[in-house]
Amino acid sequence: MTEKNRGRSASLGELAELVGGRVSGDSSIIICGVASLDSAGSGEITFLSNPKLRSLLPQSEAAAIVVTPKLAENVDKPLLLVGNPYLAFAKLLTFFRVPAFKAEGISSGADVHPDAEIADNVTICSGCVVGAGARVAQGTILHPNVVIYPGANVGQDCVLHAGAIVREDCHLGERVILQPAAVVGSDGFGFAPDGEAYFKIPQVGRVIVEDDVEIGASSTIDRGTLGDTRIGRGTKIDNLVQVAHNVQIGENCILVSQVAIAGSTRIGDHSTFGGQSAAAGHLKVGSNVTIAARGGVTNDVADGTSLAGAPAIPHRDWLKASVSMIHLPNLRRDVSKLKQKLAELEAMLTEHED
Amino acid sequence: MTEKNRGRSASLGELAELVGGRVSGDSSIIICGVASLDSAGSGEITFLSNPKLRSLLPQSEAAAIVVTPKLAENVDKPLLLVGNPYLAFAKLLTFFRVPAFKAEGISSGADVHPDAEIADNVTICSGCVVGAGARVAQGTILHPNVVIYPGANVGQDCVLHAGAIVREDCHLGERVILQPAAVVGSDGFGFAPDGEAYFKIPQVGRVIVEDDVEIGASSTIDRGTLGDTRIGRGTKIDNLVQVAHNVQIGENCILVSQVAIAGSTRIGDHSTFGGQSAAAGHLKVGSNVTIAARGGVTNDVADGTSLAGAPAIPHRDWLKASVSMIHLPNLRRDVSKLKQKLAELEAMLTEHED
Amino acid sequence: MTEKNRGRSASLGELAELVGGRVSGDSSIIICGVASLDSAGSGEITFLSNPKLRSLLPQSEAAAIVVTPKLAENVDKPLLLVGNPYLAFAKLLTFFRVPAFKAEGISSGADVHPDAEIADNVTICSGCVVGAGARVAQGTILHPNVVIYPGANVGQDCVLHAGAIVREDCHLGERVILQPAAVVGSDGFGFAPDGEAYFKIPQVGRVIVEDDVEIGASSTIDRGTLGDTRIGRGTKIDNLVQVAHNVQIGENCILVSQVAIAGSTRIGDHSTFGGQSAAAGHLKVGSNVTIAARGGVTNDVADGTSLAGAPAIPHRDWLKASVSMIHLPNLRRDVSKLKQKLAELEAMLTEHED
């Protein structure tokens, strides 16, 4: 789908200013949307970052192209020259994007407690419930059926999608995005054995979600037992991810879909967990760590390490080991034959000795 | 639980017509429900497809039995003879099923935007929110607290269970079923690196869900970045499944619980992913492919292939390799001994040479 | 966060009675909250169960300490002596905890069907929908946007968090806790092949959740096909867990996050499934079984067994095998060299023979 005709428009020159680039060609042409190289029509801007797709340029009907100076040679179109076309493209998409729900204040179908503090310029859609003592800062939008428990705190310019839930006393920083049905502040999974049964340990800590964090659809972030669970600034969490109680995640980390981080584990900054990977509890995972998809971390991890497999081992070793797996049955057969042959040789030699 | 006394009833002859079978015995007897072989009472029909359970027939109080002609010999009950008793049983259950919520039009507790297009004969329960420009076609039921974002399109005879969410501009075909809290159209997980931080790439594509698709509870289907994510006709998706942006799934595929399909991967028709299995991004998985539970697909997969393990290898090879795993420690010990013995033999032979 | 100033208070003597311990020191001092050893302030009680943390005691500002008699020696504070400090601590936290939403009867923003049976002393928050014929017993709280389908039954003193969904005819026992967006009674994943397509088998069984069960955020418990899915008394289920149709789970089991139990599998009492582990369908897993994180059970499991890996094998064997994995490439190299050397030796010997 192109974003054409959604309403917003700007000159190529204005867009260059927006993304920090410069124009080659007519900077006065008007752009009203962004689209991919093969689908962009007149009035739309597209981008080129993959040299292999350069051959598609002549056929493109795009009005202008975001491109690096290097790839721009001999292109006969208005150009927006930038160092990082992918990032510029993201910024243009953001500029042209029109929100699904218009900002319309507090819907009469929302139930906002009189003791909640709602800033000006907040949109609260129908079906939302905001509890006593909760605070919602300016510019934030709560899509339909969002629930903010009493005492929770939602910062400025947050976007909470339908069905997202923020439990009591939890904090969201600024520009936090919760995808639909994301849960912040569910009880940590803590029980004290009591004979054969388990006695629930009330989880009275909070979740602190720092600025610019995104949490995916149906992901669950448990509150701390006594202290807080913390998601550091700029960290991005995909769908169906589990973050257990008292976990501390640093800044600008990436947790891909279906990751699970067990209780009290600490992760540094700028670390990445691939899809379905996991970390056991009470571990210290450093910064700039990469865990491959499906990796299972069972020990502390030093800064800058790349691991794979479960239990996780250095990625390079895992690649070799996993390639070897398929040969395991043959290997067993070989070793069995070797044992037999060696026994024959020994018998033969002993014979010689005699 | 039997479905007895839920209200509907039909003669055995009418049911035979419904499922495309024929009656042996009295076709005028009245059936008012379906139950399992051991729990069916008078007035209820049951089914037999497993020959091993044939011995249970004499004690069954069922009024009639759905069975193949082959298994029917010497059974002294009214019979409904069909080629596929399991399918006929499913059709009978469907006939006798009574919906939980009665069709009652649009609840006064729902918030339907005046610019939404709602067909006749639609049920919208309390707590639902339907945005501007959204369309809901006839015969569809939205259970409580369903959210349809602006511009979304829900086809005829769909069943959306409580808490299901369809984001802006997404399309559901006809007879689509969303289990509770299923999410269609959450943002794809896409970010452009911007120094140490990540800049969100707006996801402005849609999700297209074709006819007869079912999506499980708390499953999440991400919208495309620019293009669309597509779930093909008749595909069935279990609970807690992740389908990432721009994924294309063909017709009549099966995705069992907790599967994850990473971004832009394409899957053909009639392929099956077992529980907790996954496919990496940007792959081409063919038709009639079977991925075993927990399989992790990391390369393109040809039509008709069966894979298992992670990284996924042919299922037969994986079975052998995984059986061998437990012998690995012994194997290492054997090889170590072989090395020692061989060294001894070499030493002995060298001595001989001298 | 400490629970200080949340309102409740009691003397140390009263607390000793509550947890079944005895006081050493002044039993009349007033306690008004619980906190961790390093954060407890005046008026707060803390606990010590780990001998290693004993050195922190002198600096603690806590008013009193929950501790075993053995660890209590030479501690110069009022003490609450118990056999199991962790359990006593959980009971104290429970005593001091103040619920997020005050009990305030049925909100005018809730939609409770006139034919639903609601006991006295029930709290139903805004946005909840309770269907015809549903029953909610006394002392239970439905947080905002909970949906109880027609005919469902919620026992006494249950806590259903925001967005939790209980489908038609399902039963929750007493003191059941549903975390946010937990789903009880979604359709089981059952389809009858019908040519290339799949025909949905209506799932008309129920889910029976017994007393004292907790179900985590966004976990999904499917209803039975004809019979019931059952979660036994005292079983605790973490977030994002899948329990398929007709599964029978015994008492006091633990299912950690992202576990999946496939259809019709039966689990005994007091068994534990670690995070991301799974059981295939139609299996019999005994009592007191432990499945390690990521374990994949593919066969019946005897009582008292500990398994790990996928396919799951005895935990001890798996530890050895998984440690060996990293050596597999070297092992292959070794075996290859051995074959070569052995061939050389054979050649040499054959020469000798000549």
Instruction: Say what percent of chain B tops pLDDT 90.
Output: 77
Residues of B in contact with C206 (CB under 8 A): 1
Task: Output the pLDDT for position C54.
Answer: 83
Task: Output the pLDDT for position B95.
Answer: 95
Going along chain C from its start, the domains and CATH numbers come out as 10-96 (3.40.1390.10)
User: Is the pLDDT reported for residue C349 higher than 80?
Assistant: no
Q: Where are the alpha helices (DSSP H) in chain C?
A: 12-19, 85-96, 315-325, 328-353
Q: Does the CB of A273 have a partner CB in chain B at under 8 Å?
A: no
| Closest C-alpha to C312, from C281, C290, C284 | C290
User: Is the pLDDT reported for residue B155 higher than 60?
Assistant: yes
State the DSSP code for C316. Answer: H
| Closest C-alpha to A194, from C177, C248, C305, C212 | C212
Residues of C in contact with A311 (CB under 8 A): 322
User: Which of A66-70, A121-125, C251-255 has the lowest average pLDDT?
Assistant: A66-70
Query: What is the average pLDDT across C156-183?
Result: 98
Query: What is the average pLDDT across C287-300?
Result: 98
Q: What is the pLDDT of residues B106-150, one digit of tens each?
A: 999 999 999 999 999 999 999 999 999 999 999 999 999 999 999
User: Is the pLDDT reported for residue C5 higher than 50?
Assistant: no
Q: How confident is the model at residue B81 (pLDDT cuts 50, 70, 90)?
A: very high
| Closest C-alpha to C274, from A256, B309, A244, A280 | A280
Look at the block and give the residue holding tokens 């290097």. A70
Chain C adjacent subunits, 3+ CB pairs under 8 A: A, B
Q: What is the pLDDT of residues A209-219, one digit of tens each?
A: 999 999 999 99
Chain A adjacent subunits, 3+ CB pairs under 8 A: B, C
- DSSP string spanning A165-226? EE-TT-EE-TT-EE-TT-EEEEPP--EEEETTEEEE------EEE-TT-EE-TT-EEEPPSS
User: Which of A11-25, C120-134, C167-181, C327-341 has the lowest average pLDDT?
Assistant: C327-341
For residue C199, is it left (φ>0), alpha (ψ between -120 and 50) or beta?
Answer: beta
Mutation target to probe the C interface, by most C beta carbons within 10 A, among A125, A189, A191 is A189
State the DSSP code for C56. Answer: G
User: Which of B176-180, C60-64, C208-212, C301-305 has the lowest average pLDDT?
Assistant: C60-64
Query: What is the average pLDDT across A252-276?
Result: 98
Q: Does the CB of B103 have a partner CB in chain C at under 8 Å?
A: no
Q: Does the CB of B201 have a partner CB in chain A at under 8 Å?
A: yes
Q: Chain A window 301-340: which residues touch C at a Cβ cutoff of 8 Å?
A: 309-311, 313, 317-318, 320-321, 323-325, 327-328, 331, 334-335, 338
Q: Chain C window 232-261: which residues touch B at a Cβ cutoff of 8 Å?
A: 240, 242, 244, 258, 260
Task: Output the pLDDT for position B6.
Answer: 54
Which residue does chain C place closest to A277, by CA atoms? Answer: C276
Q: What is the pLDDT of residues C219-243, one digit of tens each?
A: 999 999 999 999 999 999 999 999 9
Task: Output the pLDDT for position A7.
Answer: 72
Say if residues B204 and B226 touch (Cβ distance below 8 Å). Answer: yes
User: Is the pLDDT reported for residue B2 higher than 60?
Assistant: no
Q: Does the CB of C83 have a partner CB in chain A at under 8 Å?
A: no
HEC per residue, C29-55? CEECEECCCCCCCCCEEEECCCHHHHH
Q: Chain C window 212-231: which residues touch B at a Cβ cutoff of 8 Å?
A: 218-220, 222, 224, 226-228
Task: Output the pLDDT for position C121.
Answer: 94
Q: How many CB pairs under 8 A join A and B?
A: 210
Which residue does chain A place closest to B314, by CA atoms? Answer: A326
Q: How confident is the model at residue C68 (pLDDT cuts 50, 70, 90)?
A: very high
Query: What is the average pLDDT across B24-49?
Result: 92
- DSSP string spanning B290-339? EE-TT-EE-S-B-TT-EEETTTTEEHHHHHHHHHHHTTHHHHHHHHHHHH
CB-based contact A275 B258, cutoff 8 Å: no
CB-based contact B145 A125, cutoff 8 Å: no
CB-based contact C192 B90, cutoff 8 Å: yes
> Of the residues C143, C245, C327, C352, which is catalytic?
C245
How distant is the Cα of A343 from the closest Cα of chain B, in angstroms? 10
- The residue that leads in pLDDT, A4 or B240, is B240
Say if residues C181 and B181 touch (Cβ distance below 8 Å). Answer: yes
User: Which of B222-226, B338-342, C135-139, C149-153 has the lowest average pLDDT?
Assistant: B338-342
What rounded mean pLDDT belongs to chain C? Answer: 93
Say if residues B225 and A240 touch (Cβ distance below 8 Å). Answer: no
Query: What is the average pLDDT across B221-237?
Result: 97
User: Is the pLDDT reported for residue C63 higher than 60?
Assistant: yes
Which residue does chain A place closest to B130, by CA atoms? Answer: A144
Closest CB to B345: pick one of A109, A338, A346: A346
CA-CA distance, A339 to A83, in Å (whole number)?
62
Chain B adjacent subunits, 3+ CB pairs under 8 A: A, C
Q: Does the CB of C346 have a partner CB in chain A at under 8 Å?
A: yes
User: Is the pLDDT reported for residue C78 higher than 50?
Assistant: yes
How distant is the Cα of C186 from the closest Cα of chain B, in angstroms? 6
Task: Output the pLDDT for position B190.
Answer: 97
State the DSSP code for A62. Answer: -
> Of the residues B171, B245, B327, B352, which is catalytic?
B245
Q: How confident is the model at residue C12 (pLDDT cuts 50, 70, 90)?
A: very high
For residue C20, is it left (φ>0), alpha (ψ between -120 and 50) or beta?
Answer: left
Task: Output the pLDDT for position C72.
Answer: 84
Type of residue at B217: A
Cα angle: A341, vertex A343, A346; to 5 degrees: 110
Residues of A in contact with B186 (CB under 8 A): 161, 179-180, 216-217, 239
Query: What is the average pLDDT across C324-349?
Result: 87
Residues in contact with B92: Cβ distance below 8 Å, sequence separation at least 6, in sequence order: B15, B18, B19, B34, B45, B47, B66
Q: Does the CB of B11 have a partner CB in chain C at under 8 Å?
A: no
User: Is the pLDDT reported for residue A3 higher than 80?
Assistant: no
User: Is the pLDDT reported for residue B242 higher than 60?
Assistant: yes
User: Is the pLDDT reported for residue C342 higher than 90?
Assistant: no
Q: Does the CB of A189 have a partner CB in chain C at under 8 Å?
A: yes
Which residue does chain C place closest to A327, by CA atoms? Answer: C332
Task: Output the pLDDT for position C325.
Answer: 85
CB-based contact C324 B338, cutoff 8 Å: no
Task: Output the pLDDT for position A353.
Answer: 58
Q: How far is CA A334 from the centre of its chain?
A: 46
Structure tokens at B235: 């595909």
Closest CB to B194: pick one of A87, A177, A218: A87
What rounded mean pLDDT belongs to chain A? Answer: 93
Residues of B in contact with A328 (CB under 8 A): 320-321, 324-325, 328
How distant is the Cα of B177 from the closest Cα of chain A, in angstroms? 18
Query: What is the average pLDDT across A15-31?
Result: 96
CB-based contact B325 C338, cutoff 8 Å: no
Q: Does the CB of B168 have a partner CB in chain A at under 8 Å?
A: yes
Residues of A in contact with C125 (CB under 8 A): 129
Query: What is the average pLDDT across A124-147?
Result: 98
Mutation target to probe the B interface, by most B beta carbons within 10 A, among A257, A287, A290, A334 is A257
Task: Output the pLDDT for position C4.
Answer: 40
How distant is the Cα of C131 from the closest Cα of chain A, in angstroms? 18
How distant is the Cα of B178 from the closest Cα of chain C, in angstroms? 10
- Give this complex's ipTM: 0.94
Q: Does the CB of A288 have a partner CB in chain B at under 8 Å?
A: no
Q: Does the CB of B103 have a partner CB in chain A at under 8 Å?
A: no
Q: How confident is the model at residue C353 (pLDDT cuts 50, 70, 90)?
A: low
Look at the block and give the residue holding tokens 């903010």. A148
Instruction: Say what percent of chain B tops pLDDT 70.
Output: 97
Type of residue at A80: L
Q: Does the CB of C41 have a partner CB in chain A at under 8 Å?
A: no
Q: Does the CB of B204 have a partner CB in chain A at under 8 Å?
A: yes
Query: What is the average pLDDT across B310-325?
Result: 92
Q: Does the CB of B193 have a partner CB in chain A at under 8 Å?
A: yes
